[in-house]
């Protein structure tokens, strides 16, 4: 089953990959280890999960403006997410995705995307292929 959503482009790009979703906001400064690409925020539902090469889906960012530079550092180390999809992209995430050249779209109903779904971003268009449950 394919779902098509239209959002707002924050950083232009065409990319396809596996979704990694959370219903919790993410702070890149203090919440993501820039040396491993792993979520390290205590109590976060993705604690211990690596975001590298995933289409990272979360409602919005939080935390310090240093988070923008963490996204850039992740990109330079080859540990960045493939793309970011937000419900509402705030300035920290927007600046980070622009500096790090990570495609980013917001104004998307992130509840329609589940971890493991295949997501294709092409400008404002987000296509979602639902993963099939194991038999």
Per-residue pLDDT 10s for the chain (135 aa) are: 899 999 999 999 999 999 999 999 999 999 999 999 999 999 999 999 999 999 999 999 999 999 999 999 999 999 999 999 999 999 999 999 999 999 999 999 999 999 999 999 999 999 999 976 655
DSSP string, 50-111: B-TTSEEEES-B-S-THHHHHHHHHHHTT-S-SEEEESS--HHHHHHHHHHT--EEES--GG
Q: Residue 46 has which token pair?
A: 């993705």
**Residue that the structure tokens 């979703």 belong to:** 21
| 135 within a domain of the structure (yes/no) | no
Contact between 32 and 38 under an 8 Å Cβ cutoff? The reply is yes
pLDDT score at 1:
85
* E strand or H helix that includes residue 75: helix 66-76
pLDDT score at 135:
52
pLDDT score at 132:
67
Task: Count up the domains in the chain and report the number.
Answer: 1
**Residue that the structure tokens 């390290």 belong to:** 40
| 81 within a domain of the structure (yes/no) | yes
Would you name the residues annotated as active-site residues? 64
Which CA distances in Å does 38 have to 26, 28, 29, 100? 12, 10, 12, 17
| 82 within a domain of the structure (yes/no) | yes
CATH assignment at residue 22: 3.50.30.10
pLDDT score at 35:
97
| 83 within a domain of the structure (yes/no) | yes
Which residues span the domain enclosing 47? 2-129
| 110 within a domain of the structure (yes/no) | yes
Q: In sequence order, which residues have a C-beta less than 8 Å from that of residue 26 and are 6 or more positions away?
A: 32, 39, 41, 44, 46, 56, 58, 61, 62
């Amino acid at each position: 089953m394919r779902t098509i959503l239209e959002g707002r482009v924050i950083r232009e790009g065409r990319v396809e990959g596996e979704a990694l979703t959370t219903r919790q906001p993410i702070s890149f400064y203090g919440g993501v280890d820039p040396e491993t690409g792993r979520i390290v925020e205590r109590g976060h539902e993705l604690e211990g999960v690596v975001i590298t090469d995933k289409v990272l889906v979360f409602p919005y960012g939080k935390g310090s403006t240093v988070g923008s530079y963490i996204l850039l550092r992740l990109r330079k180390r080859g540990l960045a997410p493939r793309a970011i999809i937000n419900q509402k992209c705030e300035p920290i995430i927007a600046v980070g995705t622009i500096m790090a050249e990570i495609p980013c779209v917001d104004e998307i109903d992130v509840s329609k995307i589940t971890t493991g779904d295949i997501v294709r971003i092409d400008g404002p268009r987000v296509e979602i292929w639902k993963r099939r449950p194991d038999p």
